[in-house]
Amino acid sequence: MKVMVLTGPSRFSENPAPLVLAEMPKPTPGDGEISIAVSACGVCHTELDEIEGRMEPPAFPVVLGHQVVGKVASRGPGAGRFRIGDRVGVGWIHRACGVCDACRSGNENLCPRFQATGRDANGGYAEFMTVPEAFAYDIPGIFSDAEAAPLLCAGAIGYRSLRLTGLSDGQSLGLTGFGASAHLVLKMVRHRFARTKVFVFARSGRERAFALELGAVWAGAAEEAPPEKLRAVIDTTPAWKPVVEALKHLAPGGRLVINAIRKEESDRDELLRLDYPAHLWLEKEIKSVANVTRRDISEFLSLAAEIPLRPAVEEYPLTDANRALAELREGKIRGAKVLRIV
């Protein structure tokens, strides 16, 4: 089968094509697993972290990609939840132990043996992949393969982030960065909170215009002050400066939710700008988001179908994975980027 494979960490500034087109044996599903013929796979900032070494996979070579849609091609021993030909999706959570305190309390995202799709196990930048059937999801028929792919991570993690804000209808929300996840959060907010105003902080004029087009009441750069203080801000950027700026924009008692697995080191000195009275005083909070649970993905897919929430997507052939990643890194974003496998 054809794959775009990562053979080791690499900086885009030194190697603009870190993924290599290769042939690999088609994977065979093990006990309780299914094999999926991949049709579409979303492209995520997390893949940039894996490529550039900020979140290095435990072994190489590895096939990236954790927003996967395809059809069940075969089933391993004991697998019977899906039929051959069923359309399914796979997200970042590839498996968890199921027996630790975190798993038993419904927080399998915090499982010490959490395994991630496209990091700890080969993902969807490939023609086929395998996954435990308990960690695959029915895809609502209302969505095309390309529309469904970003829902499995960008959408689900955005859903979890919004829940962690504790936001009520009428309270203002800020979104720092406006890529795949944030544009879906904006659409969710407009559906669930009729009186909530959304303010967007984005580095490019294209992203800011897109946010206003989707219903944001204001859009500006990270360092610009919005017209009012915000009850919550969700940060989806790979940098530290927007985090520091977002804290200034919070109202007393406000909460900043950081939806990013890793931050780049290039602007780490921005943290030295943290000033207690200006950034943290008056009981402001910082909350991190760690992974997603199966519940997050299942609930979000149902909500997305109900709205219906259709992500804006830009499609690329599998062989153009490096170009899609480079454009994501450069901030050339309008919605979500999706690789078309077939």
The CATH number given to whatever domain includes residue 205 is 3.40.50.720
In this predicted structure, the answer to whether residue 210 has a pLDDT above a threshold of 90 is yes
Percent of the chain at pLDDT > 70 equals 100
Rounded to the nearest integer, the mean pLDDT of the chain is: 94
Q: What is the pLDDT of residues 249-297, one digit of tens each?
A: 999 999 999 988 777 777 888 877 888 888 889 999 999 999 999 999 9
The pLDDT value given to residue 90: 98
For residues 125 and 11, membership in a common domain is answered with yes
Domain around 160: 156-288
Same domain, 167 and 129: no
State mean pLDDT over 148-160.
94
- CATH of residue 119: 3.90.180.10
Does residue 98 surpass a pLDDT of 80? yes
57 belongs to a structural domain: yes
Are residues 270 and 201 part of one domain? yes
Q: Assess whether the previous peptide bond of 252 is cis (omega < 30° from 0).
A: no
State the pLDDT at residue 220: 97
Q: Residues 195, 78: one domain?
A: no
Does residue 29 have a cis peptide bond before it, meaning omega lies within 30 degrees of 0? Answer: no
Tell me, yes or no, whether 68 and 166 share the same domain.
Answer: no
Give domain status of residue 330, yes or no: yes
Q: What is the mean pLDDT of residues 194-215?
A: 94
- Please compute the mean of the pLDDT values over residues 36-50 and round it to a whole number: 95
pLDDT of residue 265: 74
105-120 residue pLDDT tens: 999 999 999 999 999 9
Q: What is the pLDDT of residue 272?
A: 77
Q: Give tens-digit pLDDT for 307-316.
A: 999 888 999 9
Kindly state the average pLDDT of the residues 1-6.
98
Please, which pLDDT band fits residue 86 given cuts at 50, 70 and 90? very high
Q: What number is the average pLDDT over the span 137-155?
A: 96
Same domain for 47 and 86 = yes
Is the pLDDT assigned to residue 333 strictly greater than 80?
no
Per-residue pLDDT band at 69 (split at 50, 70, 90): very high
Q: What is the number of domains present in the chain?
A: 2
Instruction: Give yes or no for residue 84 having a pLDDT over 90.
Output: yes
Asked if pLDDT for residue 13 goes beyond 90, the answer is no
Instruction: Give ∠ CA 32-36-38 in degrees, rounded to 5.
Output: 155
Pair (110, 226) in one structural domain: no
Question: Would you state the pLDDT for residue 264?
Answer: 74
Q: Which tokens in the block code for residue 106?
A: 């419904």
167 & 281 share domain: yes
In a domain, 188, yes or no: yes
Q: What are phi and psi of 102, to 5 degrees?
A: -65, -45
- pTM confidence score: 0.90
Least confident piece of the model among 24-28, 276-280, 319-323: 276-280
The answer to the question of residue 293 being in a domain is no
* Contact between 58 and 17 (Cβ < 8 Å): no
Whether the per-residue pLDDT at 169 is higher than 90: the answer is: yes
Whether 151 is covered by a domain: the verdict is no
